[in-house]
Chains A and B, each alone.
Chain A
Amino acid sequence: DIQMTQSPSTLSASVGDRVIITCRASQSVDSWLAWYQQKPGKAPELLIFKASNLETGVPSRFSGSGSGTEFTLTISSLQPDDFATYYCQQYNNFWTFGQGTKVEI
């Protein structure tokens, strides 16, 4: 199984901050990586696919980068609606999620 490790697990930030979340794979997943946002009591929503492609309708302050085993999700200027938990997911070999990163005030 490919293991996905996110860091940090929790991130304290303020509105307007630049936020970076890291996701590491236990082996190469090429660029087959997605990022999701989940708010309490809601289903996850797709933000980024194939490491750096923005899903339709997702604000441009979200961006993704990386390939192989190291990936990042960047929020350029944190907005009140962005306080949530973020998950990475690899889909190179089956499908595995990271443990999540909670972005809180």
Chain B
Amino acid sequence: QVTLRESGPALVKPTQTLTLTCTFSGFSLNTNFMSVSWIRQPPGKALEWLALIDWDEERYYSPSLKTRLSISKDTSKNQVVLTMTNMDPVDTATYYCARSSDPAAAGPLDYWGQGILVTVSS
């Protein structure tokens, strides 16, 4: 059974760095074609893809946010960590991690975590 769970602070102050952890089970990020993405959703708004790391340690970032993002994995702990620097109130959102296992292309997200609401406020 595949599960993902996000963890991290619910509240961060402007200019601080956000660190979120995705802990997963039921698959290995060492397995070919597996990848984990981070996606966010501001309250009442659309989904926005942020970053992806795959089984081969390839990393991809949203072009509009790449200077602020870093993604890494710890396969021994089955975790993927996202850091976002210089947080601003507009970054207030629910942050999701999700898996892709499609051998054709890393894209369709077949399992999602429940999400974590992060509020940026002083």
Residues of A within 8 A of B (CB): 1, 32, 34, 36, 38, 42-46, 49-50, 55, 87, 89, 91-92, 94-100
User: Out of B46, B48, B60, B115, which one reaches A43, CB within 8 Å?
Assistant: B115
Q: Give complex CA distance A96, B114 in Å.
A: 20
Is B58 interfacial (CB 8 A cutoff)? Answer: no
Contacts of A94 in B (CB 8 A): 49, 60, 62-63
Contact residues of B between 79 and 122, Cβ < 8 Å to A? 96, 98, 102, 104-110, 112-115
Bound-state Cα–Cα, A92 to B104, Å: 11
Contacts A87-B47, A91-B108 supplied; 12 other A-B pairs, CB < 8 Å: A34-B109, A36-B47, A43-B96, A44-B109, A46-B110, A49-B102, A50-B104, A50-B108, A92-B105, A95-B49, A97-B49, A100-B46
Report how far A100 CA is from B44 CA in the complex, Å.
Answer: 11
Quick check: B52 and A95 within 8 Å, CB to CB?
yes
Q: Which of B49, B109, B113 contacts A96 (CB 8 A)?
A: B49
* Chain B residue contacts of A46, Cβ below 8 A: 108-110
A97 touches B48 (CB 8 A): yes
Distance between Cα atoms of A87 and B105 in the complex (Å): 19
**B residues neighboring A (CB under 8 Å):** 37, 39, 46-49, 52, 60, 62-64, 96, 98, 102, 104-110, 112-115
Residues of A within 8 A of B47 (CB): 36, 38, 44, 87, 89, 97, 100
B104 pairs with A43, CB closer than 8 A: no
Query: 9 tightest A-B contacts by CB?
Result: A91-B107, A49-B108, A43-B112, A95-B49, A34-B108, A97-B47, A99-B46, A100-B46, A46-B110
Q: Which of B39, B108, B110, B115 has the most CB of A within 10 A?
A: B108
Instruction: List, sorted by A's number, 17 A–B pairs whose CB atoms are closer than 8 Å.
Output: A1-B64, A34-B109, A43-B115, A44-B112, A46-B110, A49-B110, A50-B108, A55-B108, A89-B49, A89-B108, A89-B109, A91-B105, A91-B107, A95-B49, A95-B52, A95-B107, A99-B46
